[in-house]
Amino acid sequence: MKYIGMPMGMWTLFGRSFERNLLTGFGLDRDSAKAVAAKAKPRYKEIIAGLPEFEKGDRFKMNIAGCALLAAFVLNMPKRPDVRRLTAYYSDSMMTPAMKWFCRKSGKSKFTKKDISSMKATERLRAADRNPYSWNMVFYPYPDGSGYEARFTACGICTLMRELELYDLVPAMCRLDHTMAEAGGTSDFVREYTLASGGPYCDCGYKKKRKGNGRKRK
């Protein structure tokens, strides 16, 4: 995969955030955080260069770049983090003001005809059949019309993190699905299984928020 383009944009958008949160998330001083970031950038480029190009229409290229970014920092931290602390670190680093804006914008189009059409197109693509760093997904609309589930049977993050010997840390990334759905403001995220925790698949369920949710009763 070429670094020029979206992967470079990911570093530009999130690199400073990942560096800054080394201070609050792991107690590093500024010089140590800068040293980690300085080593992480070329490692990130190296990981990206080892990935194949994604097919046109594959919506998960950003997901694998985010995984590569986190992995590059983890591989250069002075101490391997545990899942609990890494979960908070990844969420804090990814949920920048720009990302929160993106989630709100995406939330407005959730459950629209365009959104449903995009989900069905992803189901048909089955990109992981040809690219082990992508995803295969099955689309399940809820019979009662309350939303839908995206069920993943192949996960590019699992593939890459296993190769980098970081597979035990994958659950730290899974939690971001909840956080992004919450930031979107139009759906409640529900999940029973993840591949990383030994489940048969990763289920990403999105239920429409009822009007008035969160309002205080008089």
pLDDT digits (tens, 9 = 90+) for 100-114: 999 999 999 999 999
Q: Tokens at residue 17, please?
A: 């955030």
pLDDT band at residue 215, thresholds of 50, 70 and 90? very low
Q: Please, which residues bridge with residue 189 across strands?
A: 206
pLDDT score for 212? 60
Distance separating alpha carbons of residues 12 and 87, to the nearest angstrom: 21
pLDDT band at residue 73, thresholds of 50, 70 and 90? very high
Examine the pLDDT at 158 and tell me if it is beyond 70.
yes
pLDDT band at residue 210, thresholds of 50, 70 and 90? confident
Examine the pLDDT at 144 and tell me if it is beyond 50.
yes
Taking residues 38-67, report their average pLDDT. Answer: 97
Separate counts of helices (H) and strands (E) for the chain: 9, 4
Examine the pLDDT at 173 and tell me if it is beyond 90.
yes
Taking residues 193-198, report their average pLDDT. Answer: 95
Q: Tokens at residue 77, please?
A: 């931290």
Q: Tokens at residue 128, please?
A: 């992981």
**pTM, full prediction:** 0.93
Q: Tokens at residue 216, please?
A: 């205080």
